[in-house]
Amino acid sequence: MKEKQAHNIEESVNMEKKGMDRRSFLQGSTKIAGLAVGLSFANPLGGLDVEAASTKLAEKFGLSNGNPDLVFPVISDVHIHKNGTNDLQKFGNALHQLNELVPKQDAFVVVGDLTENGLAEEYDRFMTLIKEKKQQKAISLFAIGNHDYWNGLSIPDAQKRFLQKTGMDSIYYHKIIKGYHFIILGTENGLTEGYYSKQQIAWLDEKLKQANDDHPKKPIFVFHHQPMKNTMYGSEWGFQENRDLLYNTFKKYPQVISFSGHTHYPLDEPRAIHQKDFTSVETASLKDMWVEAGYIQGEMPPGSETFSQGLIVEVHGEKVVIHRRDFREKNPVGQPWIIDRPSEKRTFKYTETRDQRKPQFPKGSNLMVLHSTDTEIDILVPQAENNLLVHSYKIMAKNKSGKVAKEIDAFSEFYNNPVPDQLVFSIKGLQPGTNYTIEVFAVDSFGNRSMNPLKTEGQTKMKLL
């Protein structure tokens, strides 16, 4: 009861402070009536032999050649509502593509927020599609997320509903699949940032030791809804309480590969995988996309409601290949992440310091002023280049004395497919009838900034009386 009261207080305080916070906003969704729960898709394999189909699809979609020892999809944040069609269409589309790409799955993982509010009708709609479209031989591994608690029930009753509806044994549990250890953690209340108790972490420590004793070089797969702060891209939305205890528990076993959801951040970003003492991977979302605050496009840029991404994990002995998938575009996202010998930290390549190269603008690039008003100048910016990804642009308007009058940050729109070749940005809040020097620096994912900015001159119009 105390935990439920604390949850209610926390949600109330957040709503009062922000009007509607980031996670509460996710409760609002387009509701379109009229589609039956049971969606049907054509069998993508037809009469093809499964092995032959798997090989052909591997070649077509860039999956690894040959048969992996283990393969499983990982998706998160499905957010099924009690009515409407958009959520079901997205979920059905993802299941359809995963079955097409990976006709033989050993497990099927959903890393939390199966539902929008943990309602019985939402679970029923979720499980109907799972029963119709998930491969029968794939072992279901579902984690509970904060949204799965938001049903007005007590914490024990919300957990009981999750277990009854999904068929999971517990909110945290351990499975061995084809000789590989899978550990699923469960957030223990509805707090947005998540909560993992010392008791659960002690249980985790025992299971990690068991897996290590079983085979110290094999990867150990761990799944939890909220990320651990200060790890991968988006982990600012992670949990703080007992964070260091959990981190140090993982730290003893570098072969841990931890998957988390919750953030809805795109997989296009290189920092979506992080290695230091172990490997952390984010899993994006089927519902919609969020990105960092502080950029002019906002935390939910135009088109973010159509976003849908997930992962396919292949295991070849001690080698793990993670394929990123854009279900909306039906395309891979970048090159696969390859974790070779995860038990050896010296092999880690997805580290915070892996990219020191500065982005640069192609030779001959020009910054152009398109339009101006008495308080605004619109500029056309050509995309810069980088070995990994141009994340954003730092844009400054300087007055005659060289002082920065206005400074803005804008995404490169790296999350769009295709990424536009040119971008239009508006510099607002300027003084009428004033000359400005405009400078634009390119910034990559790791904070490296272009050596030289693009520059141009712009003038606001005189204000009409």
The 10s digit of each residue's pLDDT in 105-124 is 999 999 999 999 999 999 99
pLDDT reading at 4 higher than 60 = no
The contacts of residue 109 (CB under 8 Å, 6+ apart) are 72, 73, 74, 75, 141, 142, 143, 182, 223, 259
Per-residue model confidence (pLDDT) at position 66 = 67
Residue 22 lies in a domain: no
Buried b (16+ CB within 10 A) or exposed e, 82-113: bebbbbbebbbbbbbbbbbbbbebbbbbbbbb
Distances (CA, A) of 69 to 102, 257, 283, 337: 13, 17, 22, 17
DSSP sequence for 243-302:
HHHHHHHHHT-TTEEEEE-SS---TTSGGGEEESSSEEEE---SS-----SSSTT-SS-T
Query: Binning pLDDT at 50, 70 and 90, where does residue 46 land?
Result: very low
Over residues 386-403, the mean pLDDT reads 96
DSSP-derived 3-state class of residue 86: helix
| Residue 33 confidence (pLDDT) above 80 | no
Interval 389-409 mean pLDDT: 96
Over residues 442-458, the mean pLDDT reads 97
Task: Please tell me the distance from the alpha carbon of residue 109 to that of residue 261, in angstroms, as a whole number.
Answer: 11
Angle between the N-to-C axes of helices 120-133 and 86-101, in degrees from 0 to 180, rounded to the nearest 10: 30
| In the predicted structure, residue 18 carries a pLDDT above the cut 50 | no
pLDDT at 245 over 50: yes
Region of poorest pLDDT, from 7-16, 103-112, 156-165, 300-309? 7-16
Buried b (16+ CB within 10 A) or exposed e, 421-455: eebebbbeebeeebebbbbbbbbbbbebebeebbe
- Could you tell me if 378 and 292 lie in one domain? no
As a whole number, the mean pLDDT across the chain is 89
Query: Both 336 and 375 in a single domain?
Result: no
What pLDDT score was predicted for residue 11? Answer: 39
Structural domain ending residue among the three candidates 316, 347, 378 = 347
Residues 347, 349: Cα–Cα separation, whole Å:
6
Q: What are the residues facing 171 on neighbouring strands?
A: none
Per-residue model confidence (pLDDT) at position 373: 97
Burial of 167 (0-12, 13-18, 19+ CB in 10 A): exposed
State the pLDDT at residue 50: 40
Could you tell me if residue 379 is inside a domain?
yes
Q: To the nearest whole percent, how much of the chain has pLDDT over 70?
A: 86
With H, G, I as helix, E, B as strand and everything else as coil, classify residue 425. Answer: strand
Residue 337 φ/ψ region, left for φ over 0, alpha for ψ in the -120 to 50 degree band, beta for the rest: beta
Question: Are 303 and 386 within one domain?
Answer: no
Mean pLDDT of 234-242: 95
Task: Flag whether pLDDT at 53 surpasses 50.
Answer: no
pLDDT of 59 reads 55
Question: Is residue 19 domain-resident?
Answer: no
Average pLDDT over every residue of 171-194 = 98
| Residue 315 within a domain | yes
Q: Are residues 301 and 432 in the same domain?
A: no
- Decide if 358 is inside a domain: no
Contact 274, 232 (CB under 8 A): yes
The count of other CB atoms within 10 Å of the CB of residue 64 is: 17
pLDDT of the residue at 36: 31
Residue 47's identity, in one-letter code, is G
Domain that holds residue 65: 32-347
Whether residue 66 is found in the same domain as residue 153: yes
* Confidence (pLDDT) at 63: 62
pLDDT at 54: 46
In this structure, is residue 354 part of a structural domain?
A: no
Does some domain include residue 50? yes
Asked whether the predicted pLDDT for residue 444 surpasses 70, the reply is: yes
Interatomic CA distance for residues 36 and 83, integer angstroms: 9
40 in the same domain as 149: yes
CA distance to 54, 62, 398, 438, per residue, from 402 (Å): 61, 51, 5, 10
Q: Is residue 171 over pLDDT 50?
A: yes
Average pLDDT over residues 369-393: 97
Residue 193 has pLDDT above 50, yes or no: yes
Bridge partners (DSSP) of residue 398 are 404, 437
299, 318, 347: which is the final residue of a domain? 347
Question: Which two three-digit tokens encode residue 249?
Answer: 């528990």
Claim to verify: residue 318 and residue 202 sit in the same structural domain: yes
Give me the number of domains the chain comprises: 2
Residue 53: CATH number of its domain: 3.60.21.10
Closest CA to 272 of 462, 446, 43: 446
User: Of 295, 314, 347, at which residue does a domain stop?
Assistant: 347
Q: What is the pLDDT of residue 464?
A: 75
- Packing angle of the helix pair 243-251, 198-214 (nearest 10 deg): 10
Separation of alpha carbons 138 and 175, rounded Å? 13
21 vs 73, more confident: 73
pLDDT value at residue 48: 35
Largest distance between two CA atoms of the chain: 80
Residues 269 and 376 in one domain: no
- Residue 202 and residue 310 in one domain: yes
For residues 333 and 388, membership in a common domain is answered with no
pLDDT over 90, % of the chain: 85
CB of 226 closer than 8 Å to CB of 149: no
**Contacting residues for 222 by C-beta, under 8 A, at least 6 apart:** 183, 184, 185, 204, 250, 256, 257, 258, 259
pLDDT over threshold 50, residue 103: yes
Q: Are residues 99 and 157 in the same domain?
A: yes
Give the separation between CA 462 and CA 433, rounded to whole angstroms.
4
* 151 three-class SS: coil
Q: Kindly state whether residue 24 falls inside one of the protein's structural domains.
A: no
CATH number of the domain to which 410 belongs = 2.60.40.10
Q: What is the pLDDT of residue 17?
A: 34
Distance, in Å, from the CA atom of 303 to the CA atom of 299, rounded to the nearest integer, reads 12
DSSP alpha helices (H): ranges in 146-197?
Answer: 155-166
Helix (H), strand (E) at residue 87: helix 86-101
pLDDT at residue 364 above 60? Answer: yes
Identify whether residues 292 and 186 lie together within a single domain.
Answer: yes
Torsion of CA 271, 273, 278, 283, to 10 degrees: 130
CA 207 and chain centroid, separation:
26
